[in-house]
Amino acid sequence: MTVLTVIPCLNEAEHIAPLLECLLADPANIRIVVADGGSTDGTRAIVQAIAASEPRVLLLDNPDRIQSAGINRAVARFGGEATWLARVDAHARYPADYVSRLLATAAAEGVDAVVVGMVTRAPSHAPGAWARAFGRGVAAAQNSRLGTGGAAHRTGAKAGLVEHGHHALMRIAAFTAAGGYCETMPCNEDAELDLRMIARGSRIWLAPHVPVTYFPRTTPRALARQYFRYGAGRATTVRRHRRPLRLRQALPLGIAPVCVLALAAPLVPVLALPALSWALLCQGWGIALAIREKRAAVALAGTAAMIMHVAWSAGYWKQEIVARVSGGRSIPAPALPFATS
């Protein structure tokens, strides 16, 4: 079984060299394509230097910049020489035999895709004490139900068939038959593709024994922007496929509205109660996590969770409102690069 490994990236000079070193140690990676969206931090030069001495590595321009387009472009160009597509994100750390273990799991379970568990780890290299402390808080929030709502690939769920997880390995034939990633979606493109693959009969297996270590955003602004985009992407998926949100996804929807409602508290004080109750819950949870882990910075998990909740909610409602005002024209049919039948 041959594998095309694709790394969509943009400005990942800090992570790309050790990531490629890790992947090159695994003989399952016959072709490693770095789909770069126009990096300006030295990422391209690093990849080119490695590719000069390692023929398995190739730098591919991704003028559309977003991950979905970069992966599609790599599959269109090199997918014919492989059976499987391995998606590897540059902002993460992987086991040395990552792809080999994915292939073994796919063969053992007879599935079309393997998704993996994800554990967030605060980056020790973040510049400044505040960034390192906030990163620990974000990591604690994203590793807890407060931040993830109990997503299977985030909470150590057992192995088995699932509807969605962190994308790792897909049979190229199933990927292209479903149309590939939607190139109009900068976020939630993985969940949206999973729905199309499952509709065509594909089976997706969660392999929690092959975890990915993810490095989170280390500033409130970056975290808010990330989750605003996540919320908007989820709104697009829900509207496009007419799939209702699960309870864990629906609960955060109320956060942005109750925060707006709280603005009227000077006139009607009771209107502040929902937002105040949510804030106290988040901060209390963060303090409890800090006590349990005996690390003061972890208390920032409460603040990180609040940013994640309100940004996700705001992104979702913004996309939904725009869609309603435009009569749905703002969320067109999926832009798929591969023909479906």
- Interval 250-262 mean pLDDT: 94
In a domain, 233, yes or no: no
Shared domain for 68 and 208, answered yes or no, is yes
Shared domain for 298 and 194, answered yes or no, is no
Residues 171-217: pLDDT tens digits?
Answer: 999 999 999 999 988 889 999 999 999 999 999 999 988 889 998 99
Residues 215-235: pLDDT tens digits?
Answer: 899 999 999 999 999 999 999
**Which range marks the domain in which residue 302 is found?**
241-325
Shared domain for 209 and 301, answered yes or no, is no
Q: Which 3-state string (H, E, C) describes the chain?
A: CCEEEEEEECCCCCCHHHHHHHHHCCCCEEEEEEEECCCCCCHHHHHHHHHHHCCCEEEEECCCCCHHHHHHHHHHHHHHHCCEEEECCCCEECCCCHHHHHHHHHHHHCCCEEEEEEEECCCCCCCCHHHHHHHHHHHHHHCCHHHHCCCHHHCCCCCEECCCCEEEEEEHHHHHHCCCCCCCCCCCHHHHHHHHHHHCCCCEEEEEEEEEEECCCCCHHHHHHHHHHHHHHHHHHHHHHCCCCCHHHHHHHHHHHHHHHHCCCCCCHHHHHHHHHHHHHHHHHHHHHHHHHCCHHHHHHHHHHHHHHHHHHHHHHHHHHHHHHCCCCCCCCCCCCCCCC
- Interval 81-108 mean pLDDT: 93
Sequence-separated (6 or more) residues with CB below 8 Å from residue 268: none
Judged by average pLDDT, the poorest of 41-55, 77-91, 212-226, 241-255 is: 241-255
Tell me whether residue 196 is exposed, middle or buried, using C-beta atoms within 10 angstroms of its C-beta: 0 to 12, 13 to 18, 19 or more.
buried
In a domain, 249, yes or no: yes
Shared domain for 52 and 88, answered yes or no, is yes
Residue 140: its pLDDT value, please? 94
Judged by average pLDDT, the poorest of 98-102, 125-129, 232-236, 291-295 is: 125-129
Residues 259-299: pLDDT tens digits?
Answer: 999 999 999 999 999 999 999 999 999 999 999 999 999 99
Shared domain for 89 and 186, answered yes or no, is yes
- Interval 61-66 mean pLDDT: 93
Residue 339: its pLDDT value, please? 65
Question: Residue 150 pLDDT more than 70?
Answer: no
Mean pLDDT across the chain: 91
Residue 327: its pLDDT value, please? 76
If one counts the domains in the chain, the total is 2
pTM attached to this predicted model:
0.90
Residue 29 belongs to a domain with what CATH number? 3.90.550.10
In a domain, 147, yes or no: yes
Shared domain for 33 and 156, answered yes or no, is yes
